[in-house]
Amino acid sequence: MDSLKKPVVAGNWKMHKTITEARSLAAEIASKAAEVREATLILIPPFTAICEVKKAVEGTEIKVGAQDVFWEDQGAFTGEISPLQLKEAGCEFVVIGHSERRQYFGETDETVRKKVLAALRHNLTPIVCIGETLEEREKGQTLEKISSQLEKSVFTLSPQDFQKIILAYEPIWAIGTSRNATPEQAEEVHSFIRNLIAERYGKTQTSCAIILYGGSVKPANSFSLIREKDVDGFLVGGASLEAESFLAIAREAVRKNEG
């Protein structure tokens, strides 16, 4: 059952690409999307480019997401973006709690929790990021950190809501560093997360849960990572900024379910 899940490959473009550049990257990926129909592709451009990216992928199965969301629907919150606005712009997914938001913009497990609820209220699928720092890993605190982040941000959800979210394990020391977690390191944390889900929500929920790995995923390391039992796909930063490397990762991801 687990092995037949469609791998998810999401490209987080961060603060890269003007509208023109985003349109052209999305169109290039869209032109070849049929080759990787067995994966769910999600493009996550900056807010300004969401509408154009949505138009560029029309007629394909590619989905569009946003990089953050605020927890209120509207109001005096200068600079924020609401789930309503994202929904109308064409988003189906939203990244919440990315480590760069936590590190530079004061995101906490509590704000992640509120944003997840807001996203779910509007039928946006949250992609919730969790992960440890290098210092925490070196001190042997990785699993403790993961467990604490999950407890405070998403394990408060009802079972019905929990099954609507995607988790992304992103060790902070692996993001943008060209130093990916080894397949064994990724699997250790992914299977730990799956066990926690089983304890909290039961066996069925855990086999359906989608847990992505993120952190220096490249075409060359993606097959060894996706081959791990509990890795269901990727959240890709740098390598999603070029169509060929993003598609190459998706091609590797679909091999998980081949033979």
Known catalytic residues are 98, 170
Phi/psi of residue 214, nearest 5 degrees: -140, 140
Only one of the segments 56-64, 78-86, 186-194, 235-243 lies at the binding site for ligand PEP (rule: CB under 6 A); that segment is 235-243
Our finding on whether 235 is near ligand PEP (CB under 6 A) is: yes
Q: In whole angstroms, what is the distance from residue 111 CA to residue 113 CA?
A: 5
Please say which residue, 171 or 206, places its beta carbon nearer to ligand PEP: 171
Q: How many residues bind ligand PEP (CB under 6 A)?
A: 13
| Of 112, 236, 247, 250, the one binding ligand PEP by CB under 6 A | 236
How does strand 40-44 pair with strand 166-169? Answer: unpaired
Asked whether position 126 contacts ligand PEP by CB under 6 A, the answer is no
* Least distance (Å) between residue 146 CB and ligand PEP: 16
Helices (H), the chain: 19-31, 50-56, 83-89, 99-105, 109-121, 134-138, 142-153, 159-162, 183-201, 203-208, 219-226, 243-254
Among 90, 171, 233, 238, binds ligand PEP (CB under 6 A): 238
Interacting residue with ligand PEP among 53, 113, 237, 247 (CB under 6 A): 237
Q: Is 87 in contact with 123 (CB distance < 8 Å)?
A: yes
- The answer to the question of residue 12 lying near ligand PEP (CB under 6 A) is yes
Distance of closest approach, residue 107 Cβ to ligand PEP, in angstroms: 14
d(CA 59, CA 27): 11
Are the C-beta atoms of residues 93 and 127 closer than 8 Å to each other? yes
Residue 39 DSSP symbol: S
Q: Which of 126, 131, 171, 215 lies at the binding interface for ligand PEP (CB under 6 A)? A: 215
Residues 163-192 that bind ligand PEP (CB under 6 A): 170, 175-176
CB of 232 to ligand PEP, least distance (A): 15
CA dihedral over 120, 151, 9, 66, signed as positive or negative: positive
Residues that bind ligand PEP (CB under 6 A): 12, 170, 175-176, 214-217, 235-239
